[in-house]
């Protein structure tokens, strides 16, 4: 559905993880489309609209017009969109809504604290981080453990459960494994290195039954090394999600980058007419 020049434009100007086609296509299991500098995805009767224009010039009216044009074209039953701000006219439609911030780590301003360096060195006495290109039964075991204990939202759980599709599909996927001296998987991260000037942290978890302090910090440090090897300017750390994750990202120097708003709703004839009315103001 995308033309080659559109793919080139998206790759060159991507600035959030949802702009990375190699990441979104296998995870969403959807076909991508491009309209008015916005990227979207369609799977059956579901429309996913990425409300962050590639030119970074967000306009509420342009967003509404582009979203409605997409709805008219694909006639979905369910709509999900993310945007830096939800227009007040659309707020009443949201059956599900989330508010958060994207976090990034600016590598040009990075200054790792001495205590963190000490903890990394200590962890490296017992652990080794290595690059991998596949998801094994051990990765799936840690994913299952994470979901059973943490009970994340359905979308987060699906992200973890579908991660093998991304790793198998994408040539920009990197798996970082943290192994102990007995070659047991203690923790892992999955990254995407395909952004124009950033890499993306996609998921990560650790073994809660064989916990070794600062294993996640050791993997995080290796992620920084990979970003520098790839000549990236920053690392996309994803959303804040919860206080614990925010603290972890902030201790490494992660800072809020962009506002994130999610809205999900089901299309009905009334709702379709309501959106149309916004466009005739």
Give the DSSP H or E segment for 200. strand 198-206
Condensed to tens digits (0 to 9), the pLDDT of residues 231-261 reads 999 999 999 988 989 999 999 999 999 999 9
Instruction: Supply the mean pLDDT for the chain.
Output: 93
CA–CA gap between residue 101 and residue 150 (Å, rounded): 21
In 3D space, the residue among 95, 83, 68, 101 whose CA is nearest the CA of residue 275 turns out to be 68
Low-confidence ranges of the chain (pLDDT < 70): 269-281
For the chain, how many helices (H) and strands (E)?
Answer: 11, 11
The pLDDT, as a whole number, for residue 269 is 56
Share of the chain above pLDDT 70, in %: 95
Q: What is the structure's pLDDT at 96?
A: 93
> Cα–Cα–Cα angle for 47, 50, 101, nearest 5°?
125
Q: What is the pLDDT of residues 87-126, one digit of tens each?
A: 998 999 999 999 999 999 999 999 999 999 999 999 999 9
**What is the rounded distance in angstroms from the CA atom of residue 104 to the CA atom of residue 83?**
17
pTM: 0.91
Output the six-digit token pair for 240. Answer: 């804040």
């Amino acid at each position: 559905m995308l033309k080659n020049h559109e793919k080139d434009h998206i790759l060159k100007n991507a600035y959030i993880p949802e702009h990375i086609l190699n990441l979104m296509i296998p995870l969403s299991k959807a076909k991508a489309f491009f309209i008015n500098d916005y990227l979207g995805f369609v799977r059956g009767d579901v429309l996913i609209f990425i409300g962050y224009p590639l030119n970074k010039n967000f306009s509420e009216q342009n967003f509404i017009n582009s979203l409605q044009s997409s709805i008219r074209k694909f006639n979905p039953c369910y709509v999900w969109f993310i945007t830096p701000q939800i227009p007040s006219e659309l707020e009443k439609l949201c059956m599900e809504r989330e508010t958060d911030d994207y976090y990034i780590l600016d590598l040009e301003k990075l200054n790792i604290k001495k205590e963190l360096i000490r903890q990394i060195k200590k962890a490296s006495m017992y652990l080794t981080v290595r690059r991998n290109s596949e998801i094994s039964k051990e990765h799936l075991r840690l994913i299952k453990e994470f979901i059973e204990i943490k009970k994340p939202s359905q979308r987060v759980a699906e992200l973890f459960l579908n991660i093998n599709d991304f790793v198998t599909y994408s040539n920009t996927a990197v798996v970082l494994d943290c192994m102990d001296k007995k070659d047991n998987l203690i923790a892992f991260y999955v990254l995407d290195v395909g952004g124009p000037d950033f890499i993306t942290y996609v998921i990560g978890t650790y073994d809660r039954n064989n916990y070794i302090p600062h294993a996640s910090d050791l993997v995080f440090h290796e992620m920084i090394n990979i970003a520098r090897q790839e000549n990236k300017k920053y690392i996309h750390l994803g959303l804040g999600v919860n206080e614990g994750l925010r603290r972890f990202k902030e201790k490494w120097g992660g800072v809020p980058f962009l506002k994130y708003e999610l809205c999900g709703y089901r299309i009905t004839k009334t709702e379709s007419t309501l959106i149309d009315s916004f466009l005739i103001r």
